[in-house]
């Protein structure tokens, strides 16, 4: 996410996908221990947009960063 913001994209949406049936069952807990992976409760899907050339970004100041050049 940081890399997209640093090159000038604006965050449009943060979609959170909830994982079901992965932490409640003993099957996943034992598999995670054996194969050393994390049981995650959710995932983020970031949707970005490229702002217009002269677009005023003051209203979305918390979802973008100035371009480093």
The reply to whether the predicted model has a pTM over 0.85 is no
Which among 19, 13, 18 has a CA at the least distance from the CA of 46? 13
pLDDT at 23: 57
**pLDDT tens track of the chain, all 69 residues?**
888 888 888 888 999 988 776 655 677 778 778 887 777 778 889 999 988 888 888 877 776 666 555
**49-67 exposure pattern, b = at least 16 Cβ within 10 A, e = fewer:** eeeeeeeeeeeeeebbbee
């Amino acid at each position: 996410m940081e890399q997209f913001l640093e090159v000038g994209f604006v965050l449009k949406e943060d979609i959170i996908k909830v994982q079901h049936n992965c932490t409640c069952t003993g099957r996943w807990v034992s598999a995670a221990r054996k194969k050393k992976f994390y049981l995650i409760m959710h995932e983020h899907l970031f949707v970005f947009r490229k702002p217009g050339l002269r677009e005023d970004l003051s209203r979305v100041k918390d979802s973008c960063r100035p371009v480093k050049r």
